[in-house]
Each structure stands twice: as structure tokens, then as C-alpha cells.
Amino acid sequence: MDGRSTGEGRRDGRRLAAGNGRTGRPLGRFQGVAEHALGIDIGGSGIKGAPVDLTTGELTRERVRIPTPQPSRPHDVADVVRQLCEEFAWTGPVGITFPAVVLDGHTMSAANVDKHWIGTDARGLFAKTTGLPCEVVNDADAAGMAEVAHGAARGAGGVVLLLTFGTGIGSALFTNGQLVPNTEFGHIELRGKDAEKRASSAAKEEHDLSWHEWAGRVEEYLLEMEKLLSPELFVVGGGVSKKSEKFLPLMTKVRARVVPAAMRNNAGIVGAALAAPGPNGPMWREHLEEGTGPSKSA
């Protein structure tokens, strides 16, 4: 209903991976390109969706959340994606996030989801189940793209690293506004363990850590990332970012600026919608703010 033009879904994940496609064109006035897309954010416990105005990054309807089927097998999850499309009577392009490496629409890993996803043609499955043009991207990459387009990293130049703290740790690396897709920095080793097992917000719960204890672990992780990548800006996302005042001030050793994500819970949905297929690849090619990129710094 709200998808004003569906365009031809591009099926080339490498083009999608290539970055933000600064066009220099006025926002949302690119003829024939949909200004709205449905964004669906698949997480370990919930699958959330809403139509998004791509020019503003705002949800145009209240978001709907359906619990993730357990086990989270591909066909069961695809059925929930179909339900969400039906809920919004959607007929336009759909962007979908998934918490795994996504190459050319195929999910290639499954750290916190059912292992049947490894090697699945997720884009094909969702397109077949919904009958709509679909694109699939990594959840943290989508959240990062939303922050670059409309949130805390808008207009930021240089190296920016968005990290999402949830069940796992997701990462999205940008250089001058260009995404380097599928970085999996939640899985670097910290004290002999997968970093996300020590410093995700699930780890905080599991080990019953105080904010102070957890902030120490997150800081250690950020310092390690800083050593490896020297970013100018860290954007801290995930559900826990809405409580950023409880832990960001406790981290004093990181040189780079550390800011909370601005889109909060909606970053995944908005980023998913920005990844929906348009006539020239993902929608974000036409809807990124002019000036995102090398010439401007935050």
C-alpha cells in the first residue's frame, strides 16, 4: 500500500555491499523511486517491522513485534515475515535484517540463531514466501546505515564503528560514510573468549554484572577495537543504548568519541528499509543525506 513504486529488486549483493552510493541528488526527489519501504528486523527473540519514510527515517506506522519462533528455523521465520507484510497490507519493497553474515542474500553464519540458516538463500526464501521484492542484510550493518543516514553518525567522516550490544555484539564499519559489510567484530577474542560472550548485554544479564562491571568489560573491548582500527567515532547501539547514561560515563580510557545510537530500538527497522531493493540496488543509494562522506566530519 505505502510502497509507491517497487522498482526491480537488484539481485547483486556485491553492489549492495559497495556502500552508500552518494548521489548528490535532493533527498526523496529521485523520480520513480519509492519513498517508503517496509523494514523488518529479525532478532533472536523478536521480529519487528514497520513501514519507513526513507527520506526522514521515521516510521509511518506503529511498529509490530512478533516473537521469534523457537527454534528459529528458516521457514518458520519466513512465515513471520509474511505475517508482518500482511499486517501492513504491504505491496512494495521489503528490507530485512538478519543477525549473521549475509552474502548476496545468503545467510552464511548463525551465532545466535538456528544453524539451518547457514548457507540458506534467505533473500529467495523471503521473496517466495511474501511474493514481494526483498533484500537481506546483516542486522548491525543495517543499524549502522540508519545511524549514518539519519542518526548519530550522520555526516560523520573518517572511520566510524557502530557496535550493537544485545544477544551478541554486532559491528558496522564505515570509512567516510562507506560501509565495509559483514565485519564480525563481536567475535574477536578477549581474554581467550569470544568478545560477545564477555561484553554483550546478554553477558551482563547472564553473569549478573553491575553497570560498573559491565562498563569495564565494554571499555576493554572498545580499547581493543581502538587498537586495531583507530576509529574517530564509536556509536553504541542495541537495546542497552537507551540506558547509555549508566555506562558510557564510566568509560574514560577510550580516545575516540563514544556516543549512543540515536535511532535506539528503531535503527534495525529503518536500516532494513534503507536496504530494500530499488532500481539501482538498495534504497540507501537514493536516500542518503547529501554530504555523507569524505568532505564532512562529525
Q: Give whichever of 268 and 278 is closer to ligand BGC, judged by the CB atom.
A: 268
CB of 142 to ligand BGC, least distance (A): 9
CB of 224 to ligand BGC, least distance (A): 16
| 26: number of Cβ within 10 Å | 9
Q: Give whichever of 129 and 183 is closer to ligand BGC, judged by the CB atom.
A: 183
Residue closest to ligand BGC, measured at CB = 168
Question: 295: which 3 cell numbers?
Answer: 568532505
Helices (H), ranges, the chain:
13-17, 74-87, 122-130, 139-150, 195-199, 201-206, 211-229, 267-275, 284-287
Q: Give whichever of 101 and 283 is closer to ligand BGC, judged by the CB atom.
A: 101
Positions 155 through 174 that interact with ligand BGC (CB under 6 A): 164, 166, 168, 170
Q: How far apart are the first and last CA of the chain?
A: 37
Determine the Cα angle at 221 with ends 188 and 140, to 5°: 65
Of the residues 186, 237, 260, 281, which one makes contact with ligand BGC according to CB under 6 A: 186
Of the residues 68, 112, 241, 292, which one makes contact with ligand BGC according to CB under 6 A: 112
Query: Is residue 46 helix, strand or coil?
Result: strand
CB-based contact 261:243 (threshold 8 Å): no
Query: Which range binds ligand BGC by CB under 6 A, 14-22, 69-77, 99-107, 128-136?
Result: 99-107
The number of angstroms, rounded, from the C-alpha of 164 to the middle of its chain's C-alpha atoms is 9
Q: Give whichever of 138 and 176 is closer to ligand BGC, judged by the CB atom.
A: 138
- List contacts with ligand BGC (CB under 6 A): 99-101, 109, 111-112, 138-140, 164, 166, 168, 170, 184, 186, 196
